[in-house]
A = this chain, B = another copy of it.
C-alpha cells in the first residue's frame, strides 16, 4: 500500500507571525492532494479543498461568499492530502461537534499520527468564520479577534480537515483544524462549532508529513518568530 503523505506548505506558525503573502499556486497544491485546508494570498478568507477542487470562503456582509479558486491563485499556507478513508462510520443521531470529535477519536489508533477528516452530513446548525484579508502590519492574533462569523441552520455539506498530534503544535494546530463547504456552495468557512443531525464520517490515515517551506521568499527567510507567542496565538486563534 502506498504511504499517504500529508503535504503542508509553510507552517501555521509562520502565518501567525504575519507572513500572509501567497507564494505557492493552487495548481501545484492540488497535485499533492484532493482534500485540505488553508488560506489565500493576504489571508483573504478560508481555503477548502474538496474532491480535488479548491474553494475560497470569504466574509461579505450579511452572507458569506464561496467561489472556486483559479489554479494560478497563490496561498501563503495550506495542507492537503490524497484522502484515503481508513474508518468510515454513519452518524445516525444528533451530536454536537465536541461529542462527534470524541466519537471520532475513539476510532483512532492512538494520538501520535496525523489524520484526515471528511464529514458529509445534514447539520442542524453550522457556525463558521472567515479570516478577513489583511496586510502584514496587523498581527494574526489581532486580525483573528474581529473575524466575520456566520451561523446557518439546516444545511447540508462537507467538513474537511486534519487532526494533528500535539508535538506538531506550532508547525500546525494541535487537534482539529476543520473547514466547511455546503453542497450548494453558498456557505462555508473555518468551522467554529456545529450540531450534526446525521452523516457519514471518514477518518483517513496519514503515514508521512511532506513539509515544504517558502525557500525563496525573503520575507519568510528573515522573519523573526517568538515561538512561544506563536504557539499561544495558534491556540487562541484556531
Q: Which residues of A contact B (CB under 8 A)?
A: 3, 11, 13-14, 109-110, 112-113, 166-171, 174, 205, 207-213, 215, 220-223, 225, 227, 230
Most buried by B among A167, A205, A230: A167
Contacts of A210 in B (CB 8 A): 208-211
Q: Verify B208–A109 contact, CB threshold 8 A.
A: no
Cross-chain pairs A/B with CB under 8 angstroms, 14 sampled: A11-B167, A14-B167, A109-B221, A109-B222, A112-B213, A112-B221, A166-B225, A167-B171, A167-B230, A171-B171, A174-B227, A205-B215, A208-B210, A208-B213
Q: Are A215 and B211 CB-contacts (below 8 A) given A112-B223, A169-B227?
A: no
Nearest opposing residue in chain B for A230, CB measure: B167
Distance between A163 CB and nearest chain B CB, rounded to angstroms:
14
The 8 closest A-B pairs by CB, nearest first: A110-B221, A209-B211, A110-B222, A13-B167, A166-B227, A167-B170, A109-B221, A207-B215
5 further interface pairs, Cβ-Cβ under 8 Å (given A167-B225, A205-B215): A168-B171, A174-B227, A207-B212, A208-B212, A209-B209
